[in-house]
Structure 1
């Protein structure tokens, strides 16, 4: 995860307003790390969504809770140069696992099963075309190779969908074991409520 992204996020957080941070070419690990850093400085994770080809939007909001305010004040004192690329609070593995589980479920509910299958099919088609034209500059030959490759990959179309479903089940079990409770958000979509907490944005004067 680049220091430039951390610096930009921390500087935008100085506004005290809800933020939507758009990233391309970022891993799940990078998104989790960014959200964890935001939580160390007075914000909390609200949601993550997928946009475009490989892009993500990370939404974070100010955390009005007294514990969050106290932690943010402590970290600003201990890490005064964090926004300038200086030292950052160390990551907490347990918190990272829970946050990753929440992100997995948030991303999963963005698309239906049918939409996920369609995305896999389109992805296979794009990969097959790229492979075909990599092997041959002749259009007819390249398209033939792509067609054969795509037909072979279609046998595996249900694999990533099944793996995603298994990951979602494990993520939900991890959250529930940690005391999180599934509740509907303001749009009626299922979210996981932290123990003794509220959905992000509730009671927040900046929340829309």
Structure 2
């Protein structure tokens, strides 16, 4: 008989299709593998106990993932901290899944896998010396407010290779032809490079391998009471 830790299946969804951004870990098992050598009473409780064990470990993985976000990301937003959800196993379906919700997965994947991100629209907006909220992001509607300021324009200045939102420094009536100095407020970036920093999936696999045997024994004792 295989060791208990090897009789659970751990699967990660394919990340080949970035448009369908997904990040999940699935824990599955086969009750028949655990029922050998047990009496009838214990055998009947195996599916229920296994579902409890899988769900307990998924809850622990979720807590670990949230701790990792706080530790690895710079002041993550409440929206980011609500990224993860669990589809629980049942005694009739011994498959549990922990996953990142679609919107959060779209950007957390870059922190998990690394790589070069290209914007879906024209550019990635990066504030430069511009006020950001407590999470380090530009507040909603900030770009529109910046563009509404006097002597502010969007584009690539003559003689510059960098596009963005600029302000002409000087009097309120500074003209385009006055040779006024320009201050970059928001930079338009064509791409952003990321290094893998979260390691959520590898950490979850280690947790599942280490914790599932203990969780199953605990669940069997509970089920047999």
Range of TM-score over shorter length: under 0.3
- Report the structure number with the largest CA radius of gyration: 2
The alignment's TM-score, normalised by the length of structure 2, stands at 0.25
Structure with bigger RCO (C-alpha 8 Å, 6+ apart): 2
- Greater helix content: 1
